[in-house]
Structure 1
Amino acid sequence: MDKDLIINLYKKQYKIISLYLIKCGCSVSDAEDIVHDSFIKAIEYLEGVKVNYVSSWLFRVAVNKYKNFNKRKKIINTVSINEESFYEQIAQEFTVEGEILSKEISEEIRGTLNGLKEEYRSLLILKYDMELSYKEIGLLLGINEDSVKTYLYRARNKFKEDWRKSNERYG
């Protein structure tokens, strides 16, 4: 295996994958451990992975390690989103212009987001919280940009639908 490939991959992907895991509820130290373990696995098994798919393979390895970590620890997977910009972007269509997001609305948004299937939740986090481009998301997930756009469109619509249903129940 090419040593430079691993070094370049580490420089490009470490921060993105770590931040994603943290946004999914992983602690900073656990996220770092999971990403380091994923790179160790990459060093061991990368010979069998095509160069075009290395980024998405590594991302999937890290996510799977996180899922296994949660199963072992019996931790409930919640999305930890603390950035007001994310809430504003998601809730903008549903709030009166100029209204300040309250803590209650932020919790409702988080609850709606956590209620989505994992693929949709991941796409929304990668696009709106981590502000990755369609191309970057495609590389991480191993799909083309057009598919990212399509799936993201579906994820946004599902979020809107669930958001409206939850708001109908409460008022």
Structure 2
Amino acid sequence: MDQNLIVNLYKQQFKIICLYLVKCGCSISEAEDIVHDSFIKAIEYIDGIDIKNLSSWLFRVAINKYKNSVKRGKIINFISVDEDKFYEQLTGDVTIEDKILSIEEGKEVIEVLKSLSEEDRVLLIFKYEMELSYKEIGFLLGMNENKVKTYLYRARNKFKERWINKDER
């Protein structure tokens, strides 16, 4: 496999993976370090990686490096989203009253997100916070667009269900 492929992929995916890691709780410098390390690892293992899965492999390596850093206590784990925007996109039209209440509900949005599986959380953040297309999400996660749409539909429904039932916990 050509190392130029890695360089081109690095240029395309660096910002997306960094932004996702920042949304997960990394500082910008930590996210950049993790992504750099992931690309170095890709270069080391270039011959054993299927070219079709390279992008999703890099994303998974970066996420695993992030998780290991959180476990070792090097990174404090929190989710950073624009709560107003996220809530509005998931629940539809928002009235002025809802907008005022959403300030108070911001922490609850994050708690509901944290209660979801990692896969569901990743899909929702990619789609509604980072505004990636189905194609871009599929490319990062190694899925076809139809599978992304199906999984995102399920994740959205889980979020809505938990949002409705959040006061019962």
1:110-131 CA distance string (max 9 Å, x none): 1111111111000000000000
Counterparts of 2:32 and 2:22 in 1: how far apart (Å)?
A: 9
Root mean square deviation of aligned Cα: 1.8
Matched position secondary structure for 1:113:
helix
CA contact (8 A) 2:134 2:148 kept: yes
**1:124 equivalent in alignment to 2:124:** yes
Counterparts of 1:65 and 1:27 in 2: how far apart (Å)?
A: 14
Counterparts of 1:90 and 1:149 in 2: how far apart (Å)?
A: 15
Matched position secondary structure for 1:80:
coil
Identity of aligned residues (%): 63
Matched position secondary structure for 1:73:
coil
Structure 1 stretches lacking a partner, 5+ long: none
CA contact (8 A) 2:135 2:144 kept: yes
Q: CA deviation at 1:43?
A: 0.7
Structure 2 stretches lacking a partner, 5+ long: none
Aligned to 2:25: 25
Q: CA deviation at 1:36?
A: 0.5
Aligned to 1:37: 37
Count of matched residue pairs = 167
Counterparts of 1:74 and 1:38 in 2: how far apart (Å)?
A: 17
Structure 1 runs of 4+ with >6 Å offset: none
Structural mapping, 1:34-73, within 5 Å: 34-73=34-73
Structural mapping, 1:76-155, within 5 Å: 77-82=77-82, 84-92=84-92, 97-99=95-97, 100-101=99-100, 102-155=102-155
Counterparts of 2:91 and 2:53 in 1: how far apart (Å)?
A: 34
CA contact (8 A) 2:25 2:75 kept: no
Counterparts of 1:85 and 1:24 in 2: how far apart (Å)?
A: 17
Deviates more, 1:100-109 or 1:60-69: 100-109
CA contact (8 A) 1:91 1:109 kept: no
1:4–1:74 Cα change, 3 Å: closer
Per the normalisation by structure 1, the TM-score is: 0.90
Aligned to 1:5: 5
Per the normalisation by structure 2, the TM-score is: 0.91
